[in-house]
Amino acid sequence: MSAATPRRKPFPVLDTDRLRLRRFAARDVDAMHGAFGNATAMWYWNSPRFKTRAETARLVRVLAKADGPQWWLAWAIARRRDDRCVGMINYHHREAGNGRLELGWILAPRHQGKGYAREAAAAVIRYCFNQLDTHRIEAMIVPENTVSIRLAESLGFRFEGGPIRDRWRADGKYHSVLMYGLLAGEER
């Protein structure tokens, strides 16, 4: 490495039984377009679906640059057996001073229903509590997203309030969300 090359911080790779949570790479674009390009999956997300693969490629390039632990970090959720990306999990709106951050999760539809989101989220929650000095993790979920609510509750999150009115805007429309919270020590 030349003296002028900026040094990259090591990325916090997290391994679970079936998954490796790692930095995003260009090879993940098609898999992620399965999620970000999917109208059903994105109906529950706080930004509009991507109509083109190029838009997803742009986002994947941004996600791949993150080094953490700053105010956000995204992990590609990859299967350990073939390194195939099945989705994304991220934290965002991290306020280190308050020991607080928010989690987001999304899987490409063909990889849902296999327990991957729960396995990935449990690892990220452990990392946030043990390595980032986090005390409180939040998840904002639209009331219709029963799958995500079930996932959050299975991880130990508690319903704390809402609907919080017009908290998100996607596709020019405002969406109200429920607030779920998990304190250190409550995780399952």
Ligand X SMILES: CC(C)(COP(=O)(O)OP(=O)(O)OC[C@H]1O[C@@H](n2cnc3c(N)ncnc32)[C@H](O)[C@@H]1OP(=O)(O)O)[C@@H](O)C(=O)NCCC(=O)NCCS
Q: How far is CA 184 from the centre of its chain?
A: 19
Judged by CB under 6 A, the residue of 53, 79, 100, 118 near ligand X is 118
Q: Taking CB under 6 A as the rule, which mask of x and - marks residues 64-103 in contact with ligand X?
A: ----------------------------------------
Residue 4 or 39 with smaller CB distance to ligand X:
39
Applying CB under 6 A, the span of 91-99, 104-112, 127-135, 163-171 interacting with ligand X comes to 104-112
Rounded to the nearest 10 degrees, the angle between the axes of helix 116-131 and helix 146-154 is 50
Residues of this chain, 36-65, that bind ligand X according to CB under 6 A? 41, 44-45
Rounded distance between C-alpha atoms, residue 49 and residue 33, angstroms: 9
Token pair for 155: 């991880």
Check binding of 141 to ligand X (CB under 6 A).
yes
Instruction: Look up residue 3 and give its amino acid.
Output: A
Judged by CB under 6 A, the residue of 145, 164, 167, 186 near ligand X is 145
Give burial (CB, 10 Å; 0-12/13-18/19+) of 177: buried
Buried b (16+ CB within 10 A) or exposed e, 34-70: bbbbbeebbebbeebbbeeeeebbebbeebeebebbe
Residue 73 or 141 with smaller CB distance to ligand X:
141
Q: How far is CA 168 from the centre of its chain?
A: 16
Least distance (Å) between residue 188 CB and ligand X:
12
Least distance (Å) between residue 148 CB and ligand X:
4
Check binding of 176 to ligand X (CB under 6 A).
no
Query: Which residues contact ligand X (rule: CB under 6 A)?
Result: 41, 44-45, 105-107, 112-118, 141, 145, 147-148, 150-151
